[in-house]
Amino acid sequence: MKKVVYSVSKRNGSQKWSGVGYLAEDNLFTIAISKNGKPYIKVIEGIKGHCVPNGRDKEYSGIVTQALENVPIFNKEKDRYETRDYLEVEYYVWYKYAD
């Protein structure tokens, strides 16, 4: 595992988070806080295959598409959660090794 400083944002701009995380194999492990205030680990898979050096020392960036299955989504009109079988989310990822 290598320690990295990262910034991740959804392509539509609705979410952005950054901090210190860990890069292991092909995955970026980040620490996040839920709305209830509980910490959890968020994993972005396939980082190394999609991120390329951006011209600066030890810095990489790219676009990663993550496929999710059986995702609960809240329907405001029906006031309940519905499950989607398949959903793709695109993230813009930047990271720098913290060695």
Position 11 pLDDT exceeds 90: no
Q: What is the dihedral of CA 78, 80, 85, 87, to 10 degrees?
A: 90
Q: What's the whole-model pTM score?
A: 0.78
Chain segment 31-81, per-residue pLDDT in tens? 888 889 999 998 988 888 889 998 888 899 999 998 889 989 899 999 999
Report the run of H or E that residue 50 belongs to, with start and end. helix 47-50
Distance CA 17, CA 2 (A): 19
* Rounded average pLDDT over 3-17: 87
pLDDT at 62: 93
